[in-house]
Amino acid sequence: MNFDHLNKIHDYWIMEIFPNLSHYMSIGSFDDYLKQMSFLPSCKWLKESNQVKVLRVPFTVDPAQFSKEYQKHCVAYCCPTKPEDGMHRVIYQISPTLHIEAAVWAWVANERVWSYLSIFSCFKEEKELLEFFTKITGMRCTGNTEEKPVKGFGGMNNRT
């Protein structure tokens, strides 16, 4: 284990992410959050729907930029039990009909802290979700964390 890397990741969380998070309720999972929210009048659509629509956003987002932009929408966050796991879960209520769980990953590669945010959404209307996608498209992660170019699709081609 490289403790210097853990310290760099800790400094990244403290300086870039944590100042933009809020914790209004304690929850065990995104499912528990949605169940609790369904009792509110503004979210009764969760109870009344025959099925709830969920979708994973098909691209990753810069966590520092996202957490600043959606700071006022943060409801809760969970820290990992082991710091080397490097993943935090954050729940945002974008609107009464759009809720998201963001998995934030951070690690050190080539002496630099890298991070990304992956989004899982629960929504009522597709139009609102697409508008949200449009807003966060400019926050997409770019670049390559590897020292050399990645071969194949997403680096999954191990053939030489």
pLDDT tens for each residue of 16-63: 999 999 888 888 889 999 999 999 999 999 999 888 899 998 889 999
Q: Give pLDDT, residue 27.
A: 85
Kindly report the CA angle at 14 between 134 and 139, in degrees rounded to 5?
A: 15
pTM of the model: 0.84
Q: Give pLDDT, residue 160.
A: 45
Kindly report the CA angle at 147 between 143 and 151, in degrees rounded to 5?
A: 75
Helix (H, G, I), strand (E, B) or coil at 102: strand
* Higher pLDDT, residue 14 or 85: 14
Residue 107: strand pairing partners = 114
Q: Give pLDDT, residue 147.
A: 67
DSSP 160: -
Q: Terminal CA-to-CA distance of the chain, rounded, Å?
A: 30
Q: Give pLDDT, residue 23.
A: 86
Q: What are phi and psi of 39, to 5 degrees?
A: -85, -15
Q: Give pLDDT, residue 145.
A: 67
